[in-house]
Amino acid sequence: MKKIIVTFILALGALSFTAAPLLAAHTESAALQQSKKKKTETVTFKVSMHCKNCVKKITENISFEKGVKDLKVSLDEKTVTITYDPAKTSPETLKKAIEKLGYKVE
């Protein structure tokens, strides 16, 4: 019985030594993927909105633009704040998308 327990403990120890580099590689890979996901930028535009329908129109259309991660539209401040992936879009593209809806953008 002692021989079986000792063999089991040795086998378990050997597995932990071989699994440790694999676990470290997996953890490193996950960290790289998360750092890629975190690369976002934010831009704020002054937009000529005047009603709740304007807010709805911008929200429904701009939130589906390629690369848009987050969108905040403020009627009181007349601003549109967009968090986006710079690898997929740019402030100029986003500005043109808002202007295409019929609004003046500063």
On the CB side of 42, how many CA atoms lie within 13 Å of its CA? 8
pLDDT tens figures, 31-42: 555 555 569 999
The full length of the chain comes to 106
Q: What does residue 7 show for φ and ψ, rounded to 5 degrees?
A: -65, -40
Residue type, 94: L
pLDDT in tens, 59-102: 999 999 999 999 999 999 999 999 999 999 999 999 999 999 99
Tens of pLDDT, residue by residue over 6-47, are 776 777 666 665 545 555 555 555 555 555 556 999 999 999
* CATH no., domain 41-100: 3.30.70.100
Q: Is 64 left (phi over 0), alpha (psi -120 to 50) or beta?
A: alpha
- The predicted pLDDT at position 79 comes to 97
Task: Give the domain ranges of the chain.
Answer: 1-38, 41-100
Give residue 88's identity as a one-letter amino acid code.
K
